[in-house]
């Protein structure tokens, strides 16, 4: 057997070429940034998908327009002359919340629904997804031509105005199908096709089928013949509820008395019309409410006028009778003063009684305003009783004359007061102005309120990037593959001889070659001898030389747990760097099922191992030279139907013995051990067995199972090679001036397996 003359006499302990990472290093900022860098294409793909979905939404979504109205509620309290003091006691400003509830009340919105016919809907049938988009882009005027001959759908420019639609109870909320028949005619059917109405635009039409009844009046119809519309009569209560949900009313600021009403809709003109009707109904309702209050007060005063007039006539008759009988009596100054004061008190008491009668129609007897009014009336009665006691000290004739004069004067002033109040209320009733006015009337919006393209795209990009980052970290958290040498050594006890970093040049070559090209990328060790992956293979060469010192032969078997780990890449390039003028190397492709080493050198598969074992050719005829004069190649040969039998044969054992005697190193590329048993048949004949692992691709249990599977066949695995790792970055650590690297897994393009 030919040996390397420079090999050291004693095998030192084989150590891993990768420096240990400090504890907790996986959570450093650099490692997290590297995870993002690894998943950059995933993040970009997710973000692009979300942004594309948002762009599709912007194109297909129906624009929604918003119309607004601004209303001012004035702080105005109306009171009649002479009642100002009492009105101030219980006058309160109506809060904005109350006005908002009035605006959204069913009685107010119900009038709007009836006025505009909001419980009647008529809409053309559009083609799914793209129909609305094409209709919005159609030119105004005549209806657009049917797209692809689909005449039953509306493609833009159609107009239908239904003036009246009366249906029986069982047809409420049921869509009816209206079809344009051409020539100003139409056909209306229910969902079951039982009830059918045929009519002409501008003429009422009706039909009855049992309990089902339809009366329809189409005021306008512009559409291509065959175009279908959906017409529906909604229940009035449901239409009111829908308007309540869509109408938004809020106070602008706090206690400003400024209300803002807004309404969204797909039809800007219809939206503005609805909002205008709501605001107009609210203003009218406010005026009518104020007018009703004035009418109620006027009714009360008019009921009191005959009573007061009768009292005045009775007092005047009593005074005339007294003067006829007694004559005119001159009153002293004190009597006159008491008389005037008594008249004032009577008038005040009568006014308080009228106010109390009015308030009792609005409040209960326990209301604070009524309690205050009763207290004031009691004070007036007490003062009047004092005056009556003082007047008893005056001569009787003078007292009687004063009393009669007081009654006449009091009744006259009260009657005059009531006449003035009634006239004032008549004026108020006929010219009532509410305390609500519209500041900004609704206008037809030209720009849609939503969707907002800039906002949607920014949010989509943010969401997409966030989802991409989250997905990358989630995939990282769920990944079970071992990523560094320490984890593999601790979990399996298998020493890691070397770590082979990811090579961008190799990845570019793999992408350029492609699976469909049936050719491997250029040999990295030959094309880029200075590549970092090749440098680490040279370090593996040194460790391999130490391992071969104690081996029983110079055959090195390179295998892996499964396909796609890069074992062929390691085997081919390691053979290249091992070959030198004083060390000839033979590379044998022992994967008789899917071997592809021949493609790395640009040669044919046949003749090869299977042909030599079957005796078709001699081994000398099968061995080929390569561009490296110190490296020979033995390919797989033809793909046999029984590869395991060939590799387990005595002829294959003789083939390896022949190669071992003539070469310094024999590199055998074997199939995956967990896929087929072929690898164990080759490994039992090798002096050194190495297991190639792809960083992050294998759980520790899978690696241990591969080692166990080989051990069951009597094969000892000397070590592992961690392939395709990516460097997070170089930095100085606790090893002083020596720079070390920490590697993380890559999911880049696979190398030849």
**Residue 26 clears pLDDT 90, i.e. is over it:** no
Cα–Cα distance, 249 to 264 (Å, whole number) = 12
| pLDDT tens digits, 260-308 | 999 999 889 999 999 999 999 998 888 777 666 666 666 667 777 787 7
Q: What is the pLDDT of residue 83?
A: 42
How many distinct helices (H) and strands (E) make up the chain?
24, 21
Q: Say if strands 496-501 and 719-732 run parallel, antiparallel, or are unpaired.
A: parallel
* Angle of helix 368-391 versus helix 396-430 axis, rounded to 10: 150
In percent, the amount of the chain with pLDDT more than 70 equals 79
The answer to whether the CB of 402 falls within 8 A of the CB of 339 is yes
pTM: 0.57
Q: Is 613:650 a contact under the CB 8 Å cutoff?
A: no
pLDDT at 592 over 80: yes
Question: Counting every residue, how long is the chain?
Answer: 753
- Model pLDDT, residue 229: 93
User: Does the structure show a pLDDT above 60 at 25?
Assistant: no
DSSP label of 451: -
Cα→Cα distances 691→19, 163, 405, 567, Å: 20, 84, 132, 8
**At the topology level of CATH, where does 482-729 sit?**
Rossmann fold (3.40.50)
Q: How does the average pLDDT of the chain come out, rounded?
A: 79
- Statement: residue 519 has pLDDT above 60: no
* pLDDT tens per residue, range 30-86: 778 878 887 899 999 999 999 999 999 988 888 999 999 999 987 654 444 444 443
Q: What is the mean pLDDT of residues 507-536?
A: 67
What pLDDT sits at residue 500? 84
Model confidence band, residue 196 (pLDDT cutoffs 50, 70, 90)? confident
Residue 78 pLDDT: 46
Of 608-612, 690-694, 705-709, 742-746, the least confident: 742-746
First to last CA, the chain: 30
Torsion of CA 508, 557, 16, 488, to 10 degrees: 80
Q: Is 427 helix (H, G, I), strand (E, B) or coil?
A: helix
Q: What is the mean pLDDT of residues 726-741?
A: 38
pLDDT score of 93: 52
- % of the chain surpassing 90 pLDDT: 19
Distance separating alpha carbons of residues 179 and 189, to the nearest angstrom: 9
394 vs 630: which has the higher pLDDT: 630
Q: Kindly write down the DSSP assignment for every residue of 82-123, as one continuous string.
A: T-HHHHHHH--PPPHHHHHHHHT-HHHHHHHHHHHTTTEEEE
Does pLDDT of 151 surpass 90?
A: no
CA 548 to chain centroid, in Å, comes to 63
Per-residue model confidence (pLDDT) at position 249:
93
Instruction: Tell me which of 666 and 497 has the higher pLDDT.
Output: 666
Q: Is residue 148 within 8 Å of 171, Cβ to Cβ?
A: no
Question: Taking a C-beta distance cutoff of 8 angstroms, is the pair 687, 677 a contact?
Answer: no
Q: Average of pLDDT values for 350-370?
A: 74
Of residues 465 and 738, more confidently modeled: 465
| 8 A C-beta contact, residue 501 and residue 727 | yes
Neighbouring CB atoms inside 10 A of 362's CB total 12
**Rounded average pLDDT over 381-395:** 72
């Amino acid at each position: 057997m030919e040996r390397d003359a420079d090999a050291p006499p004693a095998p030192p302990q084989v150590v891993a070429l990768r420096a240990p990472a400090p504890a907790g290093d996986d959570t450093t900022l650099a490692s997290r940034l590297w995870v993002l860098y690894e998943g950059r294409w995933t993040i970009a793909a997710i973000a692009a998908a979300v942004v594309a979905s948002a762009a599709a939404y912007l194109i297909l979504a129906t624009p929604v327009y918003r119309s607004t109205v601004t209303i001012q509620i004035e702080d105005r309290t109306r009171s009649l002359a002479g009642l100002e003091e009492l009105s101030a006691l219980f006058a309160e400003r109506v809060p904005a919340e109350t006005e908002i509830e009035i605006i959204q009340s069913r009685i107010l919105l119900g009038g709007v629904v009836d006025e505009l016919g909001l419980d009647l809907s008529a809409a053309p049938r559009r083609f799914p997804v793209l129909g609305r988009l094409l209709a919005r882009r159609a030119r105004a005027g005549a209806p657009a031509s049917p797209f692809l001959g689909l005449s039953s759908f509306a493609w833009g420019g159609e107009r239908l105005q239904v003036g009246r639609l009366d249906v029986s109870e069982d047809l409420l909320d049921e869509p009816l199908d209206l079809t344009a028949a051409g020539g100003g005619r139409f056909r209306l059917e229910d969902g079951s096709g039982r009830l059918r109405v045929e009519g002409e635009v501008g003429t009422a039409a009706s039909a009855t089928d049992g309990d089902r009844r339809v009366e329809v009046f189409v005021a306008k119809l512009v559409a291509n013949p065959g175009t279908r519309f959906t017409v529906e009569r909604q229940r009035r209560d449901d239409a009111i509820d829908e308007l309540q949900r869509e109408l938004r009313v809020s106070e602008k600021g706090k206690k400003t008395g400024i209300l803002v009403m807004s309404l969204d809709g797909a039809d800007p003109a219809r939206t503005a019309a609805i909002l205008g009707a709501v605001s107009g109904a609210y203003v009218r309702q406010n005026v009518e409410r104020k007018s009703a209050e004035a009418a109620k007060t006027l009714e009360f005063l008019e009921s009191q006028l005959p009573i007061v007039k009768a009292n005045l006539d009775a007092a005047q008759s009593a005074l005339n009778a007294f003067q006829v009988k007694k004559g005119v009596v001159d009153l002293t100054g004190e009597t006159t003063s008491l008389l005037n004061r008594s008249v004032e008190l009577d008038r005040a008491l009568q006014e308080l009684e009228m106010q109390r009668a009015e308030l009792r129609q609005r409040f209960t007897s326990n209301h604070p305003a009524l309690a205050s009014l009763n207290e004031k009336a009691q004070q007036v009665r007490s003062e009047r009783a004092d005056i009556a006691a003082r007047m008893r000290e005056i001569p009787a004739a003078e007292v009687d004359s004063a009393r009669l004069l007081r009654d006449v004067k009091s009744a006259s002033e009260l009657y005059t007061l009531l006449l003035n109040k009634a006239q004032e209320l008549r004026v108020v009733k006929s010219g009532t102005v509410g305390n609500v006015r519209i500041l900004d009337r609704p206008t037809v919006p030209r720009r849609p309120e939503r969707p907002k393209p800039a906002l949607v795209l920014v949010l989509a990009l943010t969401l997409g990037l966030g989802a991409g980052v989250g997905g990358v970290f989630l995939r990282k958290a769920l990944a079970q593959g071992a990523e560094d040498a320490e984890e593999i050594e601790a979990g399996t006890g298998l020493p890691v001889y070397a770590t082979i970093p990811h090579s961008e040049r190799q990845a570019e070559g793999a992408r350029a070659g492609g699976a469909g090209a049936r050719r491997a990328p250029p040999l990295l060790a030959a094309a880029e001898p200075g590549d970092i992956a090749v440098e680490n293979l040279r370090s593996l060469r040194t460790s391999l030389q130490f391992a071969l010192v104690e081996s029983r032969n110079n055959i090195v078997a390179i295998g892996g747990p499964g396909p796609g780990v890069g074992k062929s890449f390691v085997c081919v390039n390691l053979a290249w760097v091992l070959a030198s003028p004083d060390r000839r190397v033979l590379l044998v492709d022992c994967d008789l099922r899917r071997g592809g080493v021949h493609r790395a050198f640009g040669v044919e598969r046949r003749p090869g191992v299977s042909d030599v074992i079957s005796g078709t050719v001699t081994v000398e005829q099968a061995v080929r030279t390569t561009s490296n004069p110190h490296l020979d190649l033995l390919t797989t040969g033809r793909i046999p139907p029984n590869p395991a039998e060939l590799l387990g044969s005595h002829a294959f054992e003789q083939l390896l013995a022949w190669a071992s005697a003539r070469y310094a190193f024999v590199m055998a590329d074997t199939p995956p051990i967990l896929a087929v048993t072929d690898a164990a048949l080759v490994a039992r004949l090798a002096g050194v067995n190495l297991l190639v692992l792809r960083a992050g691709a294998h759980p520790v249990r899978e690696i241990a199972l591969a080692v166990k599977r080989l051990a069951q066949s009597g094969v000892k695995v000397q070590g592992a090679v961690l392939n395709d790792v990516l460097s997070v970055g170089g930095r100085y650590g606790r090893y002083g001036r020596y720079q070390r690297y920490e590697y993380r897994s890559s999911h880049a393009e696979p190398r030849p397996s």
